[in-house]
Structure 1
Amino acid sequence: MTANPALDETYAVSAFTPGGSHRVSPPLVRAGGKGLNVARVAHQLGAPVLAVATCGGLTGERCREDLLGSGIPHRLVPVTAATRRTMAFVDSTSGLTSIFNETGLPLTSAQWQELERQVDAAMSGASVVVGSGSLPPGAPAGFYPDLVHAAAGRDIPCIIDASGADLVRAAEAGAFALKPNQHELREATGEEDLRRAARSLLDAGARTVFLSCGEAGLLAFSATDPDHYLHARLGRTLTGNPTGAGDAAVAAVAVTLAAGSRDTARMLRLAAACSSAAVLMPAAGEIPSSYRSLQEQITITSHHDRTASAVLEEN
């Protein structure tokens, strides 16, 4: 589920110079935003998916057309506000990607109610629920917590990938899994030490926290054993576009849960492989078949009574 989807535009540039003029080829354009990226990767992994999102204006129609062409099952709630755009500029010289994300436009109360109704209907028969991405301005503070509670009422695990107060609220609602990156985690909790920051979300009510740390890999913290955490990493750097790496990790966790496994290490291994593989693709929302071989190359280590921050500094 994504309340704030986007029409993603990815540009390839030979060198990105701030303040400069750049001549570029037409961008790769597709329906995106974090939730749709998750659905796209899960679909590629062979899992049955149903993407629920809003859709407005000409950009929304382009998103609808792309989803139809991609064969991804979806329910789109019509809204008056045009679907936002995101722009990624991939610099082939530096290897860096610059991203510009529009914030999106507010929804009406009736549109929020219809979105919630469609999400509730989509839960029938679901084995896992994912709420992913930013929310439009003026979103109800309880939107993600309500999603968590609705899923829990059906005994369905719920994954939330959000930031700021929405991340903390989802933890307090008892989300099965949260998936921030290290910057989002520190900002949301006010804790610089990553282990204490993740522990605060577990103490608030989250059952698992999967933490994206860029090239340093992925960490996993579990409420069942809060004094330990797992660290998964590939051990080498893959160059490319990292825009959708976190979304690929969320999709991997969701697919593992949907297959009936709640083994944290198993979820973490696939998540680390998929997020690493996603970097090799030109745009967010897809992974190459090489993710299978990357799974075998992922190293997972267990840590106790050390800060996650220290582990990252050592690598």
Structure 2
Amino acid sequence: MTGSVLTVTANPALDKTYVVEQLNPGDSHRVPPPVVRAGGKGMNVARVAHQLGASVLAVATCGGSSGRAYREDLDRSGIPHRLVPVEPATRHSLAFVDRSAGATSIFNETGSALSSSEWRALEQQTGEHLRAAGCLVGSGSLPPQSPADFYPGLVRAASRRGVPCIIDTSGPDLIRAAEAGVFAVKPNHRELLEATGEANPQTAARVLIARGAGVVFLSCGEDGMLAFTSADPGHFLQARLGHALKGNPTGAGDAAVAAIAVLLAAGCRDVTLMLRTAAAWSSAAVLMPAAGEISPEHRSLIRRITVTRHHDGEELR
């Protein structure tokens, strides 16, 4: 490793994952105790990277009784972390895994607004650790009334240090990160179309490239993962496993970001390798009951991933 994977989670969540044999809306369900862990997209990235042996440091906010549980879980996990105390309680995220349907329903609280001093403390904590970072990851939604410049600020701070930055978010924050010249963004299909207002994912990805993003890694469900680059504007890459996996897809996107971040922190700039590894880790995450971990099957899955090069505008099948 040439540096650590530094993740920033401004709107973390205490995750609770319940598993039921069959979810029937309107019915009462008896369930075993949930899996409870410190979550949020950036923390999931750090957890996966840590599981795979990478050097990581997770920065997040933390508040209230749920924040105490959040901190306790991180202490038990062994994931290196720095938590910024804030007044609002850490939000909750509930996932209900329906075994019979192979589907997961998720209920995410929005979180609460932070004060200007709390935002400054989060930025300061991040800045203090950029010197040792090989990659900076900003992931997830931001709480209400967040500064419009938060993610662009992370991109610029990383750029000044020569550190590649990945932003995985949605809405206007995705556009702002691209305009700040982010190395890579990793939206899913829905997030990309909503942020750009485009109906075609290839056109939408090119909007982010035109706005300044270096690479757009796009999660497309059963169509796999696509990569668009500013260096090769006439083509894009597609990585596919070739068949759908049943399980919990909640943390699949975070596992993909972890793969890209670990390679970047090691000095890799091979987009094809990043895409292949991201698709394999994403698939391996689906096989696990909760977000923030991946199955050992990632080693065999990466050998089954096919990567193909396409002309821009070509219809995918």
Misfit runs of 4+, over 4 Å = none
Residue of structure 2 aligned with 1:32, choices 18, 39, 42? 39
Paired position in structure 1 for 2:239: 232
| Residue of structure 2 in register with 1:16 after alignment | 23
Match of residue 253 from structure 2: 246
Match of 2:179 in 1: 172
Q: Which amino acid aligns with 1:165?
A: P
Moved more, 298-307 or 262-271: 298-307
Distance in 2, matches of 1:82 and 1:4, equals 11
2:99 maps to 1:99: no
Q: Deviations over 1:99-144 (max 9, x none)?
A: 0000001111110110010011111211100000000001000000
- Shift, 1:160, TM fit: 0.1
Question: Could you tell me whether the CA contact under 8 Å between 2:167 and 2:182 is conserved in 1?
Answer: yes
Q: In structure 2, what is the Cα distance between the partners aligned to 1:300 and 1:289?
A: 21
The match for 1:48 is: 55
Partner of 1:257: 264
Give the residue type in structure 1 aligned to 2:282.
Answer: S
- Select the residue among 272, 280, 291 that pairs with 1:284: 291
Confirm or deny: 8 A CA contact 2:202 2:312 kept in the other structure: no
Counterpart pick for 1:208 among 215, 225, 229: 215
5+ residue gaps, structure 1, are none
- Distance in 1 of aligned mates of 2:311 and 2:223: 18
Question: Unpaired segments of 5 or more residues in structure 2?
Answer: 1-7
Report how far residue 215 of structure 1 moved: 1.9
Q: Verify the 8 A CA contact 2:188 2:218 in the aligned structure 1.
A: yes
Cα distance in 2 for partners of 1:256, 1:305 equals: 26
Please, what is the CA RMSD of the aligned residues? 0.7
Aligned residue for 1:76, secondary structure, equals strand
| 1:81 corresponds to 2:63 | no
- In the TM superposition, what are the counterparts of 1:104-183 in structure 2 within 5 Å? 104-183=111-190
1:305 Cα deviation from its structure 2 partner: 3.4
Distance 2:223 2:16 in 1: 27
Distance 1:290 1:102 in 2: 32
Provide TM-score, normalisation by structure 1: 0.97
Counting matched residue pairs gives 310
Equivalent in 295, 298, 301 of residue 305 of structure 2: 298
The answer to whether residue 278 in structure 2 is matched with residue 271 in structure 1 is yes
Contact 2:35–2:290 (8 Å) recurs in 1: yes
The letter for the 1-side match of 2:262 is: V
The CA distance in 2 between the partners of 1:166 and 1:129, in whole Å, is: 16
SS at 1:155's partner residue?
A: coil
Whole-angstrom CA distance in 2 between matches of 1:224 and 1:182: 22
Task: Please report the TM-score for the alignment, with normalisation by the length of structure 2.
Answer: 0.97
- What is the rounded CA distance, in whole Å, between the counterparts of 2:220 and 2:302 in structure 1? 18
The 5-angstrom pairing of residues 64-75 of structure 1 reads 64-75=71-82
Q: Distance in 1 between matches of 2:309 and 2:52?
A: 27
Tell me if the contact between 2:236 and 2:312 (Cα under 8 Å) persists in the aligned partners: no
Please give the alpha-carbon distance, in whole angstroms, between the structure 1 residues aligned to 2:222 and 2:78.
32
Summarize deviations over 1:45-86 as a string: whole Å, max 9, x none. Answer: 211000000000111111111111111000000001000000
Distance in 2 (CA, whole Å) between partners of 1:246 and 1:215 is 13
Letter in 2 for 1:246: G
Range that drifts further, 18-27 or 47-56? 18-27
